[in-house]
Amino acid sequence: MTTLSVDQFASLENFGHSLRAPSYLFRPGDAEQISQVFELAKQHALTINLRGAGRSYNDAALNGGGIVLDLTGMNRILDWNPETGILRAEPGVTLQQVWQHVLPDGWWPPVVSGTMFTTLGGCLGMNIHGKNNFKMGMFGEHVLEFTALLPTGEVVTCSPQKDDDLFHAMIGGLGMLGVFTSVTLEMKRIYSGQLDVRAWNVPDLATGLEALLGGAPKNDYIVGWVDTIAGGKGLGRGQLHSANYLPAGADPDPSRTLQVAYQTLPSTFFGLVPKSSLHYFMSPFLNNPGVWAVNTAKYVLGRTRAYRQPHAAFHFLLDYIPDWELAYGRDGLIQHQSFLPKETALDAWTEMLKLSQRRGLPSYLGVTKRHRPDKFLLTHAVDGFSLAMDFKVTRGNRAGLSEMLEEFDQIVLEAGGRFYFAKNSETAPETARRFLGEETIARFREFKKRCDPENLLGSDLYRRVFG
């Protein structure tokens, strides 16, 4: 069998380009090849991490010095039934592949992330949510069944009915219990390729959260943008977007809007700048005055509008500008996302926004969503809201940002909040213990012992938080 040597290292990065780690990279095509890599790892006493599209903002898909299984090679859609809307696919299939496959038949993935480039394996491992979490829950809630290869060599098939404990631990289990080899998902029936979208301004955080709370039951999707730089009375002001599926018959020509070709994102801004070089034009604005100017313009020019928009254009905002994360410069960006109960969210986030402004370290993008709790073991959701904030990392601001995020975490913990392992890069082990609870962690460790007694699966994230 192959020997591993350090000249085979690939340099892998997180999404956001703020971390880098060398790893032996393998791209298996089937379960048999995954087993071979497990053998190799045992021989060399190395750990294996699983990687899909590499869209995590933190160290979830990194494994410094160890093996990384790039599962994007297992990217076949195995089965699609346009009558029932049930799809079975390999873990490397992306959300883009999925929606493009099912849309012409009048279906859409029930839960999608802000980018379509994520893989199903990644969506399952992190248990992603969308702008409809309050209604449709987590990605994992639409999994009818999955098969996975455990490091023990055992192949398991789990569903909410069969081995449901393991089902709820492996989904959202950070890829630390086994490798998903196929997943069966139920799609959502739609009658048009368009969504009814409404946009309106909210003058402050309280109004914004109130509107999210009140708007959620009445809409299929709702999401808020927060002007994180505005202070004083306008603290937390922003814009809300709600969206609804069109009922049957509302679209005059669904056969046109349900075509993949109709689901385009705008290809140029202002008609002049090619999309692929847009991030160069973003970069001069990614500083405090620049973001202030952009945010203020966005807020002041924001009007109440109602319009129809293709699904892809509404959902995949992050894909509008390819490689937008490069605009954050050499040291990249990080995201801090906190999930708070609806009772405590306003006070906690008011404090956090004020803190970031006082320190001169405002977030450059703030997004709020409405959430509901679920049954997954390592879940991040609560009956409340989430606020995601992007921060630019520079050589000069690291120490200050680090201190500030520690304060953020304390505020969130005291307010009974939670965190999301696909996003936050600085979560301390103690923080994880506090929000998950000793019992939950102990249960996860039991699953780990059962599925991976030799600790073959490991990641920088897992060692950082649970090591």
Which residue ranges make up the site for other proteins (CB under 8 A)?
Answer: 4-11, 14, 16, 18-22, 44-47, 58-59, 64-66, 331-332, 334, 393, 398-399, 401-402, 405, 425-426, 445, 448, 455, 460, 463-464, 466-467
Sheet holding 221-226, edge to edge: 305-310, 194-202, 238-245, 221-226, 365-371, 384-392, 333-341, 418-419
CB of 325 to other proteins, least distance (A): 12
Task: Pick between residue 59 and residue 141 the one whose CB is nearest to other proteins.
Answer: 59
CB 12 to other proteins: min, Å: 10
C-alpha–C-alpha distance, residues 55 and 316, integer Å:
13
Shortest spacing between CB 395 and other proteins, in angstroms: 10
Distance CA 63, CA 58 (A): 12
DSSP letters for 61-116: T--TTSEEEEGGG---EEEEETTTTEEEE-TT-BHHHHHHHHGGGTEE-SS--S-S
Closer CB to other proteins, 284 or 467, in the complex: 467
Beta carbon of residue 182, minimum distance to other proteins (angstroms, whole number): 27
Residues 351, 352, 356, 357, Cα dihedral to 10°: -40
Cα angle 314, 316, 318 (rounded to 5 degrees) comes to: 125
The token duo for 463 is 């060692």
Measured from the CB atom, the residue of 6 and 272 that comes closer to other proteins is 6
Q: Which is nearer to other proteins, 100 or 394 (CB)?
A: 394
* Least distance in angstroms from the C-beta of 462 to other proteins: 8
Nearer to other proteins, 11 or 161 (CB): 11
Question: Is 67 or 71 the residue whose CB approaches other proteins more closely?
Answer: 67
The answer to whether 67 and 26 are in contact (CB under 8 A) is: yes
- Closest by CA position to 92, among listed 37, 173, 31: 31
Closest CB 64 distance from other proteins, rounded Å:
3
How far apart, in whole angstroms, are the C-alpha atoms of residue 219 and residue 240?
12
Distances (CA, A) of 306 to 10, 81, 149, 210, 367: 48, 34, 47, 20, 20
Q: How far apart are CA 336 and CA 349, in angstroms?
A: 12
> Looking at beta carbons only, is 116 or 126 nearer to other proteins?
126
CB of residue 415 to other proteins, shortest distance in Å: 22
